Structure 1
């Protein structure tokens, strides 16, 4: 029994009875009606998969004009409806005309049951395939929209971030391979998506692959796909991530985790711009923009022989180094406010600010987990707070991860905390203003203003 709904429209009661008695043995639901004028009501109340439509309804008519009219009407409601036209007249030109106007097939009356079943079952497979494609398109569109809402844009006014944004403007419209380096939590995926969003491939897929989660047994089949029978559980052909990303961007995260064997296979794909599915010999061309990322020191790994130099040359046409959150101090409160607004809206809590002590705490914390940790801290604070503003107790930050010269800075004012951070940076870099400014995420001029302000 095929799970499909068939609608049969014919003005001949004998035809309707014959079709219904035969088709209901093969299909889950069969609906019949004598006039196409009932179409709108029937289609609005039933999830119809296949429509068998007679071509003539007026007495004595044989030119099929009515059938063509109602075919156009059905497809104007939904162009994906599968329509099979029926007629007692073997007019080849009419059949060709009907197919051109969007009919799926054409059947002559009286029919042979085997022919009717073959035609309708083929139409059912087409309908299911179309529905599956539509569903995948909706899922893809939804995922892309969710990603766009999740990443939105890069938040930050620090010198380091402005320099990266300036580079992004130049690099994004090209197809240059980009390697993004940075500690965990610095926003490598955000930058990768920003590159995609401002590229010529923005309307195609952004495929994120976490290489750190793939073991060697899955690497080839996941990235390059496999043919039916390639291994025990390979019951169907399956395209890999590179094929699925064709026309779009593929983001290979944690590329530093690849073994030598996996590096060699990836290099071959990047050099040839083709993939070969596991269990096949056929090469398939791919057209993808490659972005990679890692928190590992690839240049040092080359010296040690754990990462291929030729692969590095392939992936880092442009190299972006993301600063830690501690290196972009001017952005901490800006990012915190951004997350406060985002999660306040998500959890329906109209929170507008951090109090002064909470701000001082955010500025004094080391943020070993970088922007990701800040995001999680603010989300948790929004969930847990009972007040109209965020206070230090809501942040639940670990005392061990504040500056070594003090415990939790809850008793300090914002200015005292800022003065302490500036002094600490200057001392750390032995008076080198350029390095201290870089660590604080400030320009030299902005740091000099603070030195003068705090009389340091």
Structure 2
């Protein structure tokens, strides 16, 4: 492990590596005049040793030295201290030389004779860059200790960037707007934000704004008093009250009516509301996280969504990438779902054949993670061996000519209708008679499944 930077409170220390004693003396004078301490080495080997044994903040490295050249020394220094800014010096204003050094990790380069103003400018920039890099490193270490996003699967660059954003926003009380296509996991992310926030021990309350009629949604959100409307036989608390001290997740907020939008805006701004049919103003402390697959900016432009509510919700916007933009995460997700459903269905399925995994990775997944999850559950249920093969995957992954999942073929002719009947009945058996789940796995509606069972005399 290399030596660290100069101790806090001391002058920044610059290591000068140059075989020309006169040039070292000139640089020492320039650096002293700019407020720096210096350390000197007369060849590349001595420079690398100095980095290992002394605290330094930056290196000025001559590229042309007789024994160990600058490029070789640069590589060794970066191996010891990857974070250390190295500024290379060359008497030859060659673009090729500069490019070669930058590719090896040099921060910048200066040509000889070195101009004092250029030297000061480049060193200031290098030291500021190193300070910011150190701040980011410490921040990431602290975030790694404090936050757990293990429920969200992914190692791709878009997901790593997402984790960094979540780690920064989770401890705050800021409203968050999560956008992304259907099936990308918006609720999972909202829950992860709550679980890594100071409100983690308080309620996490969910409302799907698209699932309820306008009047029912208002009652769900704000509650109602007895007699507020027909059927309101008792007072009922709304989701804002139930989420007091915690987090309220408003899913598919783009489907909310303008009237309800106005009331939600008031709660976010003022922290107060009235129950339907009530006159008493109630106050709540709730963090709001909203999600939508719609383009809210376009809806604002069209007048379909309140601009002031949009700005209140999108204090911190978080966008979830579609699965097709992070194909390297597909094997991780597929294996994760396989373990879950193999255990749930008590099936000894250990993995995927290479051909099956190749089909999974090459598919576009318009339904995103949710579609992949359903495909893996279906494959586990239909799998008769230890590994999932292409035959157990949905036909959409195999192309138009792909066959349906195969069962042992009995003697004698089989029609397409026979194969369909066998597949439906076997799937229903594997789901323990759960028609809704069987229909989801088969990719048909529940009513279509019921109609098919009637045909088979199994209603």
TM-score range, shorter chain: 0.5 to 0.7
Q: Which residue of 2 aligns with 1:244?
A: 242
Deviation (angstroms), 1:231: 1.6
**Per-residue Cα deviation, 1:230-269 (whole angstroms, up to 9, x for no partner):** 1221111110010011111110000001122221121122
Whether contact under 8 Å (2:182, 2:368) holds in the other structure is yes
**CA distance change for structure 1 residues 321 and 354 in 2, over 3 Å: closer, same or farther?**
same
Deviation (angstroms), 1:306: 1.0
Whether contact under 8 Å (2:349, 2:383) holds in the other structure is no
Q: Which residue of 2 aligns with 1:196?
A: 194
Structure-1 separation of matches of 2:293 and 2:386 = 38
Of 263, 283, 302, the residue aligned with 1:285 is 283
Q: Which residue of 2 aligns with 1:394?
A: 392
Deviation (angstroms), 1:350: 2.6
Q: Which residue of 2 aligns with 1:354?
A: 352
Of 296, 313, 318, the residue aligned with 1:320 is 318
Whether contact under 8 Å (1:180, 1:321) holds in the other structure is yes
Q: Which residue of 1 aligns with 2:152?
A: 154
Whether contact under 8 Å (1:354, 1:391) holds in the other structure is yes
Give ranges in structure 2 of 5+ residues lacking alignment.
1-148, 404-459
Aligned length: 256
What SS does structure 2 have at the residue aligned with 1:350? Answer: coil
Q: Which residue of 2 aligns with 1:299?
A: 297
What SS does structure 2 have at the residue aligned with 1:212? Answer: coil
What SS does structure 2 have at the residue aligned with 1:232? Answer: coil
**Per-residue Cα deviation, 1:173-201 (whole angstroms, up to 9, x for no partner):** 11110000000000001100110110111
Of 376, 380, 403, the residue aligned with 2:378 is 380
**Per-residue Cα deviation, 1:342-392 (whole angstroms, up to 9, x for no partner):** 111111223221001101110121111000000011011111111111001
| Match runs of 1:160-171 below 5 Å | 160-171=158-169
What SS does structure 1 have at the residue aligned with 2:250? Answer: strand
Whether contact under 8 Å (2:209, 2:256) holds in the other structure is yes
What SS does structure 2 have at the residue aligned with 1:268? Answer: helix
Deviation (angstroms), 1:407: 7.2
**CA distance change for structure 1 residues 319 and 158 in 2, over 3 Å: closer, same or farther?**
same
Deviation (angstroms), 1:408: 6.4
What SS does structure 1 have at the residue aligned with 2:374? Answer: helix
What SS does structure 1 have at the residue aligned with 2:160? Answer: helix
Alignment RMSD (CA, Å): 1.9
**Per-residue Cα deviation, 1:148-179 (whole angstroms, up to 9, x for no partner):** xxx96110011000000011111111111000
Structure-1 separation of matches of 2:374 and 2:158 = 23
Whether contact under 8 Å (1:227, 1:280) holds in the other structure is yes
Structure-1 separation of matches of 2:345 and 2:206 = 27
Deviation (angstroms), 1:399: 5.2
What SS does structure 2 have at the residue aligned with 1:290? Answer: strand
| Match runs of 1:21-32 below 5 Å | none
What SS does structure 1 have at the residue aligned with 2:206? Answer: strand
Larger relative CO (CA 8 A, sep 6+): 1 or 2? 1
Q: TM-score, normalised by structure 1?
A: 0.54
What SS does structure 2 have at the residue aligned with 1:218? Answer: helix
Structure-1 separation of matches of 2:259 and 2:250 = 16
Runs of 4+ in 1 over 4 A off after TM superposition: 406-409
